[in-house]
Amino acid sequence: MDTASFIFYLLATLLVIASLLVVFLRNVVHCAMALVTALLLIAVMFVTLHAPMLCVLQVMVYAGAIMVLFLFVIMFLNPGALEQQRGLWWGFGTLLAMMLAGVLVPLVATSDLPADPVAATELFGSPEMLAKSLFSDYVLPFEIASVLLLVAIIGAVVLAKREN
Amino acid sequence: MIVDLAIITLKAVLVVAMVLNLAGVLGWIERKGSALIQDRIGANRASIFGFAGLGLVNTLIADPLKFLTKEDFIPPKGDRFLHTLAPCMALFPALVTFAVIPFGDVLNFGERVINLQVASLNIGILYVFAMGSLGVYGIVIGAWASNNKFSMLGGVRGSAQMISYEVAMGLSVIGILMVYGTLELQDIARDQGTLIRDLMPSWLSFLTPIVGWLPAWGIFLQPVAFILFFTAAVAETKRIPFDLPEGESELVAGYHVEYSGGKFLMFFAGEFAEIVTAAGLVTTLFFGGWQVPYLMRDGFHFPWGGTLLLPHLLIVLMQVTAFTVKVVFFCWVQILLRWSVPRFRYDQVMRLGWKMLLPLALLNVAVTAIWIIAAQ
């Protein structure tokens, strides 16, 4: 096994362990921290795929912003209250996981992926390439997405104001 | 291969050691400096055979020994694992951020060209913000794992404050990125070696005799961004006037109220390492990084004519020294701030971040964009 695949399998193993911990740990804050670990491991995987920009964005957006918000919600709500309906959630979760597997497994099995990985070019994943696709090739979807986010923010503000 | 690896390792070890050492020295400067500012004698109790060494014995020998030999208390109803992990999560981002900050130009060593920067990333400044955003975990997790209401209040305040000021900090740097056109900190530092007269658009050439001789440092091209960035950086280090997360008079000690011994020392060292990193960033983005004005790769080239050629090693030495002096200066400015101004109220912190820094940063981006288009 060469170094690259060794690192991949090492990361993949850790990633699977971290993801399983998210599901099986009893303490919800521990679960959230396991999820942070999983997200950081994915970020490291992006580095091994020569996409440092994606790695940094993954850390900044998911680990640095979204998960902090998750943690807040978990810490403020009483996590013990969720324990009651565990049986029901297990059934629901299993159903969802099986549906996802039913879609993913045939897709991966039937797709003809290239046997040899394509070497990344120097500019692959660089800020220049990202900016070019965001602001020239896909500028309309990008702007629409930003308007969508703006609507969400304004909606949240309106809802928060009405409480008072 | 082996030599390359050795060089990279050496650079990494050197930078981490420098940051930690400077953090330690800052502990002394903070205590002795505060005594100086408040007209006290300060930090003079511990001595070895009557030698107190201006408080050095106190802060560099007695304090760490005390920290390391104290009982490591973990609240019985707290979370053992996360309580231990939190100080590491607080110290780690502060130490690794310095990896992308260049401390010198290139060092030619025989055939080899050594870039005086640990990691040359084409996304350098984004890496800084990614690591900065991880700093929140140390506080939030430490606060929660302590199972203490004062800790929790401090943790909530700290994370809200850090997230708020990250936004303003990120936006304030956009102006610098637009002016220098790169995310790589070494390139930003290198670009600051040019003179303003080389960047002056033709319709402003009448100003060249007045300001043309200045080096194109960030402070001259983006003065508003400097004020915004420095304010946000001080807020990120959670020190007075932004020390709401600790707030001794309100929250005992905030998020680290349940920490003692070595773990508290890690929070403490993390705070000082953040000061050093903030100073390094301010230096690199706004004060030329390792640049000495008019010092090029072969010697001085003065704008009024005349050159002074110098040997390569001396130039590298001068650059590294210039960087260190600037960093130490901005560390001192931050310590001076801490002992000069009172603490903000919490609503003032939030108002400053969201209603003043953020709109100003957006305005700065817009003005910079108009300027760049007009200067073309």
pLDDT by residue for chain B (376 residues), tens only, comes to 788 888 888 888 988 888 888 888 888 888 888 888 888 887 777 777 777 777 777 777 788 888 888 888 888 887 888 888 889 888 888 888 888 899 888 887 777 777 788 888 888 888 898 888 888 888 888 888 888 888 888 888 888 888 888 888 989 999 898 888 888 888 888 888 888 777 777 777 777 777 777 888 888 888 899 999 999 999 888 887 888 777 777 777 778 888 888 888 888 888 898 999 999 999 999 988 888 888 887 778 777 777 888 888 888 888 889 999 999 999 999 988 888 888 888 888 888 988 999 999 999 999 999 988 887 7
How far is Cα B335 from Cα B246, in angstroms, rounded to an integer? Answer: 16
A75/B159 CB distance under 8 A: no
Is B140 in Cβ contact with A71 (below 8 Å)? yes
Burial of B208 (0-12, 13-18, 19+ CB in 10 A): middle
Alpha helices, DSSP H only, in chain B?
2-37, 56, 63-69, 80-96, 124-145, 149-180, 185-191, 196-199, 208-211, 218-221, 223-236, 248-251, 261-286, 312-338, 346-351, 358-375
Q: A29 and B163 in contact by Cβ < 8 A?
A: no
Q: What integer pLDDT is reported at residue A116 of this predicted model?
A: 66
- What number of helices (H) and strands (E) belong to chain A? 7, 0
Chain B residues within 8 A of A59 when measuring between CB atoms: 130-131, 133-134
CA angle, residues B145, B17, B263, in degrees to nearest 5: 20
| Contact (CB<8Å) B123/A63 | no
Q: How far is CA B225 from CA A132, B61, B190, B222, B314, in A?
A: 26, 40, 19, 5, 33
The reply to whether residue A75 touches residue B140, judged by beta carbons under 8 angstroms, is yes
Cα–Cα distance for residue pair B252/A26, rounded to 1 Å: 32
Judged by CB atoms closer than 8 Å, whether chains meet at A29 and B82 is answered as yes
C-alpha to C-alpha distance for B23 and B29, rounded to whole angstroms: 10
Residue of B nearest to A53 (CA): B123
User: Residue A114: its pLDDT value, please?
Assistant: 67
| Range A46-66 burial, b when 16+ CB lie within 10 A, else e | beeebbbbbbbbbbbebbbbe
Closest chain B residue to A67 measured between Cα atoms? B137
Interface of A with B (CB under 8 A): 27, 29-30, 33, 36, 52-53, 56-57, 59-60, 63-65, 68, 71-72, 75, 126-127
Q: Which residue has the tokens 């990125």?
A: B177
Q: Calculate Rg over the CA atoms of chain A.
A: 20
Question: What is the least distance, in Å, from the CA of B144 to any CA of chain A?
Answer: 8
Quote ipTM for the complex.
0.79
Contacts of A36 in chain B (CB under 8 A): 137
Residues B306, B294: Cα–Cα separation, whole Å: 11
Give the distance from residue A105's alpha carbon to the nearest chain B alpha carbon, in angstroms: 34
Nearest CA in chain A to B137: A68
Inter-chain Cβ pairs, chain A and chain B, closer than 8 A: 60
Q: Report the gap between the CA of B265 and the closest CA in chain A (Å).
A: 23
pLDDT tens digits for range A77-125: 766 655 556 677 778 888 998 999 999 888 888 877 666 666 667 677 7
| Helix residue ranges, H only, A25-138 | 28-48, 52-57, 67-76, 86-110, 127-132
d(CA B361, CA B168): 7
A-interface mutation test, from B80, B134, B236, most A Cβ less than 10 A away? B134
Q: Is B35 helix (H, G, I), strand (E, B) or coil?
A: helix
Calculate how close chain B gets to A84, using CA atoms only, in Å: 22
Q: Please answer yes or no on whether B152 and A75 come within 8 Å at the CB atom.
A: yes
Residues of A within 8 A of B131 (CB-CB) are: 59
